Amino acid sequence: MMRYRAVIFDLDGVLCSTDRFHFEAWKQTAREVKAPFDEKINQRLRGVSRMESLEIILEGSPLALSGAEKLRLAEEKNARYRALLQNLTPADLTPGAEETLAALRAAGIKLAVGSSSKNAVFILERLGAASWFDAVCDGTMISHSKPHPEVFLKAAEMLGEPPGSCLVVEDAAAGLEAARAGGMDCAIIGGADMPFAPEYHIDTLEALRAIALG
């Protein structure tokens, strides 16, 4: 018996680690706006859209910027981030990703990506993982980013599954909140602080086999 008919994966921090690239690219933005930036602030950017991430950094800035200046900063950050992403290879996939997804698929479970990133397709291509999914819902297709459930609800719709049949895999608090708001169970990978307990805590992607196949 399958416990879930579909699994929706967050991308950054779940299927691969792009954190260090985001961190590097935002560090320069923070310097430009004279705002502090460290791992703790970086944590708050996980799962949150590019413009909202910029607003979080600007909380620590003494400058008052116009909309046009904010847009320029976000575009420059993305250009730096995209340049760094050129270094991404299939070796940056989370250990066990390929085997685990293949096992889920072989059991008849549908697979999707639900990411706030507008670079998701590019990242999946660099990882060699673009063909592994039945649906990819990303930051280019939504108007509200996590913790709003839109990206996961849309992914479920693309798969043709009701939210109650879907398991979300996340690394970020915003993603856990989005899954809960969408009526989906959530497995959290990694050790980030969560606002409430998810249905599952996992250390590795391999642990999903037992959870999803029940």
Per DSSP, which regions of the chain are E strands? 6-9, 110-114, 135-137, 166-170, 185-189, 200-202
- At closest approach, how far in Å is the CB of 107 from ligand G6P? 28
Q: Does 182 bind ligand G6P (CB under 6 A)?
A: no
Do β-strands 135-137 and 110-114 pair in parallel, antiparallel, or remain unpaired?
A: parallel
Judged by CB, which is closer to ligand G6P: 76, or 98? 76
Nearest to 110 by CA among 160, 185, 169, 176: 160
Partnered with residue 169 across adjacent β-strands are 9, 187
Q: Does 115 bind ligand G6P (CB under 6 A)?
A: yes
Q: How far is CA 188 from the centre of its chain?
A: 12
**Segment near Mg ion (CB under 5 A), from 28-36, 156-164, 166-174, 196-204?**
166-174
x/- mask, ligand G6P, residues 62-101, rule CB under 6 A, reads ----------------x-----------------------
Judged by CB, which is closer to ligand G6P: 109, or 174? 174
Rounded Cα–Cα distance for residues 78 and 93 (Å) = 21
10 is catalytic: yes
| Residue indicated by tokens 């980013």 | 145
Site residues for Mg ion, 22-61, by CB under 5 A, read 47
Judged by CB, which is closer to ligand G6P: 79, or 210? 79
Q: Is the peptide bond before 149 cis (omega within 30 degrees of 0)?
A: no
CA torsion sign for 152, 153, 157, 160 is positive
H or E element that contains 124:
helix 120-127
**Segment near ligand G6P (CB under 6 A), from 44-52, 100-108, 152-160, 185-193?**
44-52
Residues 12, 150, 177, 185: which binds Mg ion (CB under 5 A)?
A: 12
Judged by CB, which is closer to Mg ion: 115, or 165? 115
Contact residues: ligand G6P, CB under 6 A: 12-13, 22, 45-50, 53, 78, 115-119, 139
User: Which residues form the interface with Mg ion (CB under 5 A)?
Assistant: 10, 12-13, 47, 171-172
